[in-house]
Amino acid sequence: MKKTGYFILLFSICFTTMAQVNPKPEVTRTIFAYGGGFTKPFIRYIIALTKKDNPKICFLPTASADNANIILAWYKACEDLQMRPYVQMTFVASYTEPKTFEENLLSMDAIVVAGGNTLNMMAIWKAQGIDTVLRKAYNKGIVLAGGSAGSLCWFQGGTTDSRPKDLSIVKGLGFIQTSHCPHYHSEPLRKPLYFDNILKGKLNAGYAIDDLAGVVFENEKYIKSVAVDDKSNTYYVSVINGQIDEKLLPVEEILK
């Protein structure tokens, strides 16, 4: 064997061995869905989920139509926290936005979606390509979070007040392949309608969440439930022997 061929073979063996010893770490895909609006304890928890010091966390207020009061409340809630808060509005113009949605969102450590009109939000995301960007963010390991519309969007679907008169079913992004019900006990119509839709097969089994509680998923698997107080809970709702089964999930209380 010529020396050149020998060194190429030796390099190949060494490179393969090093790759086996130091494999590329697997990305953990994380979703934190809570039942109601964002709170300081939830933001602290999202910071912890990023596993980074002073993470960049972006607020996506599409469902609120980029409402200025909601954006102000976001910045107010982030005060004194070890993070760098950002906002990505969708009611924008190219004259004032030097970067694309993808460039901005994929540079973050976490993305928090606001509550509001889920149906309108999903339509805008699809039109702007943000649904595709969020899938890239998820696969990259950027923590995805939100409550109300901001939690419903990560699931297959659930009930929404996005249309006039009655609660109706809306489809989400389907990152988590179950249904979801936010505001489980704070809005009286939510629970019976969720039961009825699951019984009739209009929705798959799924997770129901009180406003001050949340569920954590890693790589599409349920990991744990957390809550701000001892009165808030999460549930797994399914059908067993033709009857609704509401399973209360263990909850870990997080600091206020």
Q: Of 28, 18, 255, which is closest to residue 140 (Cα–Cα)?
A: 28
The beta-strand segments (E) located in the chain are 30-34, 56-60, 84-87, 110-113, 143-147, 155-160, 168-171, 176-181, 206-209, 213-218, 221-227, 234-240, 243-248, 251-253
103's CB contacts (< 8 A; 6+ apart) are none
User: Quick check: is 185 catalytic?
Assistant: no
User: Quick check: is 148 catalytic?
Assistant: yes
Is the CB of residue 34 less than 8 Å from the CB of residue 155?
no
Which is the catalytic residue, given 148, 162, 179, 225? 148
Which is the catalytic residue, given 151, 183, 225, 232? 183
- Active-site residues, by number, are 148, 183
